[in-house]
Amino acid sequence: MQKNVMSYSAVNRLLISGGTGFVGSAITRALVKKYPAWDLTVIDQNPPSAKHELPGGVSYRQVDITSIEAVKSAFAAVNPHVVVHTAGIIPGLAERFRRRMQSKVWQVNVEGTRNMLHESKQTGVEVFVYTSSCCVVTDDTLSPYPNVDEEWPSSLKSTIYGESKAAAEALVLKASNSEMATCALRPSVLCGPGDCQLLPPIHACIANHETAFLIGDGLNLWDITHVDNVADAHVLAIENLLSTRTAAGEAFFIQNNEPITFRDLCLAIWAHFGHIPPFQVRIPQTMAYLVGLACETVTWAMGSTATLSRGSVRDACAVRYASGEKAKEILGYEARIGIEEAIRLSCEVSDRWSFHLSSHTHSPRITPLVCYLLKIKPPMSQGTQDPCPPCLEIQIKFTWAIDGDF
């Protein structure tokens, strides 16, 4: 496989959408490291920031993928062989289980993908790799998802995010043909340097004295993935589609393959920062669910945004981990960074950015328990809507403390 790829190396021009985001920048770094001769262009709505570093020699173009004109001119200028499409939008927790942002999410995730695919076909792109999400399958919080594989169907009715990713993924996989090979990678919840979704809200629980609360039995397993492992998977997918093409038209779950309970992830992060809950209060799932319902009612009546909701409680207690067999067999993907190291690395980076973390610790809108539920976020926001640079600003601090984008 390696040989084939090398034969392409002289001429490969890559276009990476969402390349200044969390995942996109990691993919860009991995590609530059492995194939320094390749010509990389990043398109994103947000310019590169210090938080998600881009290596030197990578060009950047400001593009809104929802505009077909903008996409068209970018493709015309770059004329890529390979497209990596990571741009997308994840609604924040407050909106995650509601439908208010549906058209916006659909616009970016589905129509944006449609634009990217259309232009790729028009300009003769050979390889199209799409960053999908495990939410394609696992976002219907009513079912448990133990050890799911790629045979599992996508939930037709889930969350606005899961639905939009499922629809976009279907477009991508259907577009695969002999001219352009496509595949979709479905990473789980991510961690790693530059993560502004998973770690900060968990860390904030220490200051909010919320660490003692445990919702449900604390036995539900989750997959968590280091962002560099996801980047590796993208590189492998590109190599595959440039050579044997055994991955064409296929979707793959990508994760560390070391599921741990969400509670243990939190405890490990808190322990890293020297905090160990002095005691533990178990809140039965049904009770938390009722509290969620009450919160929803109140916020509905007040016209504010709900943070704790029935959806988030179910999410917190959900079982969600996938089998990595297919990715291993076809792509040869195995996690390079183990989960223990991944969590340590994420914490260490956050240590250095302690001002970041502390900016989240006094969020007045976060009620007890809520923080605990925050982890929820599936990966992948980055890209066109990445809010990370402004996340230091107080006014939107709340939203990303809750979840990430928006």
Partner 1 sequence: MGLVGNALYYSFHPMQLRAIIQWKVWHNPPHERNEKNETENQKLCFKFLEKTSRSFSAVIKELHPELLIPICIFYLVLRGLDTVEDDTSIPLATKEPLLRDFKNILTKEGWNFTGNRPEEKDRELLVQFNHVITEFINMKPQYQTIIQDITERMGNGMADYAVKAETDDASVKTKEEYDLYCYYVAGLVGEGLTRLFVEAEFGNPALLKRPRLHKSMGLFLQKTNIIRDIREDFDDNRRFWPQEIWSKHVDNFEDLFKPEHLDAALNCSSEMVLNALEHGEECLFYLAGLREQSVFNFCAIPQSMAIATMELCFRNPDIFKKNIKITKGEACELMHKSTQNLSVLCDSFREYTRKIHKKNTPKDPNFLKISIVCGQIEKFIETIFPTQTAEAAQRKVTGELTAAEAKRKEEDAQNKDDIWFMMALMGVIVVIVAGLMIFAAWMMGARFDLAYKELTQGNFRPPQSIEHGEL
Could you list the active site residues?
Answer: 161
Residue 157 has a CB neighbour count (10 Å cut-off) of 9
Least CB distance to partner 1 at residue 264 (A): 4
Rg value, the chain, Cα: 20
Per CB under 8 A, which region of 35-43, 84-92, 192-200, 261-269 contacts partner 1? 261-269
Structure tokens at 5: 């790829």
CA distance 14 to 406: 28
Among 340, 348, 351, 393, which residue interacts with partner 1 (rule: CB under 8 A)? 340
Q: What does the DSSP 8-state code read for residue 48?
A: P
Nearest to 61 by CA among 98, 19, 113, 8: 19
Among 84, 108, 184, 267, which residue interacts with partner 1 (rule: CB under 8 A)? 267
Least CB distance to partner 1 at residue 343 (A): 7
Among 276, 281, 302, 394, which residue interacts with partner 1 (rule: CB under 8 A)? 276
Nearest to 395 by CA among 213, 387, 16, 193: 387
Nearby residues of 194 by Cβ (< 8 Å), 6 or more positions away: 22, 25, 26, 51, 52, 53, 227, 349, 388
* Residue list 120-159, contact with partner 1 (CB under 8 A): 143-144, 146-149, 151-156
Map residue 19 onto helix, strand or coil: coil
CA distance 319 to 338: 21
Least CB distance to partner 1 at residue 156 (A): 6
Complex with partner 1: residue 177 or 280, whichever CB lies closer: 280
Judged by CB under 8 A, does residue 206 bind partner 1?
no
Structure tokens at 221: 């397993």
* Residue list 217-256, contact with partner 1 (CB under 8 A): 218-219, 221
Complex with partner 1: residue 143 or 305, whichever CB lies closer: 143
* Residue list 298-337, contact with partner 1 (CB under 8 A): 321, 323
Question: Residues interacting with partner 1, by CB under 8 A?
Answer: 143-144, 146-149, 151-156, 218-219, 221, 258-261, 264, 267-268, 270-271, 276-277, 321, 323, 339-340, 343
